């Protein structure tokens, strides 16, 4: 079993940068992504419908495809990007900034959703990658769904660390994520959904899930 990766269960933030401005960029209230990205999602839907003159049914179709595709992107980013640890000191520092700090301080209330300083550049890069393969207005509907998937992931992630679910789907995904933090960080990479852990066989045995429950 992999070594446990957390240090503290404090809800307070550990300092990451000496510079106050850089430090501020690493912290964000959980409502900020909603306030910023919901208007962006609405804009892309408006663009597809008004400018692109797409039918509502086509917009819904591409929106749902984008939403579904997010679940795969979430898994890939978490498993192979966020959990990639270079051997160099510089690489280790970058890993800690982007994800290692979350495993060391998993209840840090200001570092449970992605700050805009990271999500905006990442979303921009992903948008232009999609632009290579999709036409402008198809992409508008698709990317709106993709961004909603991201928001669901971000807010679910915050809730998993600070809400107490008694039963249902939220409890199942919380148990799955808690095993990732407190049992084996090399398993359980799905956050808003565990489907890709099932497909790639990176989930937890049922006996571990029952024990966590």
pTM over 0.95? The answer is no
Length of the chain: 213
Q: In the prediction, which pLDDT does 183 show?
A: 87
Q: In the prediction, which pLDDT does 40 show?
A: 98
- Has residue 204 been placed in a domain? no
- Has residue 211 been placed in a domain? no
- Has residue 159 been placed in a domain? yes
Q: In the prediction, which pLDDT does 212 show?
A: 56
- Has residue 208 been placed in a domain? no
Tell me how many domains the chain contains: 1
- Has residue 194 been placed in a domain? no
- Has residue 162 been placed in a domain? yes
Q: In the prediction, which pLDDT does 207 show?
A: 59
Q: Which domain holds residue 36?
A: 21-104+111-166
Q: Which residues of the chain have pLDDT under 50?
A: 1-4, 6
- Has residue 150 been placed in a domain? yes
Q: In the prediction, which pLDDT does 164 show?
A: 86
DSSP string, 30-57: TTHHHHHHHHHHHHHHHIIIIIS---HH
Q: In the prediction, which pLDDT does 15 show?
A: 86
């Amino acid at each position: 079993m992999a070594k446990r990766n957390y240090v503290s269960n404090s809800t307070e933030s550990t300092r990451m940068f000496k510079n106050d401005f850089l430090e501020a960029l690493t912290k964000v209230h959980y409502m900020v992504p909603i306030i910023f990205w919901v208007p962006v999602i609405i804009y892309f839907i408006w663009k597809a419908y008004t400018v692109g003159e797409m039918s509502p049914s086509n917009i819904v179709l591409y929106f749902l495809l984008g939403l579904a595709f997010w679940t795969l992107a979430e898994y890939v980013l978490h498993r192979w990007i966020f959990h990639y640890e270079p051997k160099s000191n510089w690489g280790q520092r970058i890993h800690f900034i982007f994800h290692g700090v979350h495993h060391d301080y998993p209840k840090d209330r200001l570092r449970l959703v992605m700050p805009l300083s990271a999500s905006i550049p990442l979303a921009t890069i992903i948008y232009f990658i999609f632009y290579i393969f999709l036409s402008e207005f198809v992409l508008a509907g698709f990317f709106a769904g993709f961004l909603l998937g991201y928001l669901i992931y971000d807010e679910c992630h915050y809730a998993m660390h600070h809400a107490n679910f008694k039963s249902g789907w939220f409890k199942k995904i919380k148990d799955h994520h808690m095993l990732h933090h407190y049992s084996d960080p090399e398993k359980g990479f799905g956050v808003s959904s565990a489907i890709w852990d099932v497909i790639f066989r990176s989930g937890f045995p049922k006996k571990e899930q029952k024990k966590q429950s």
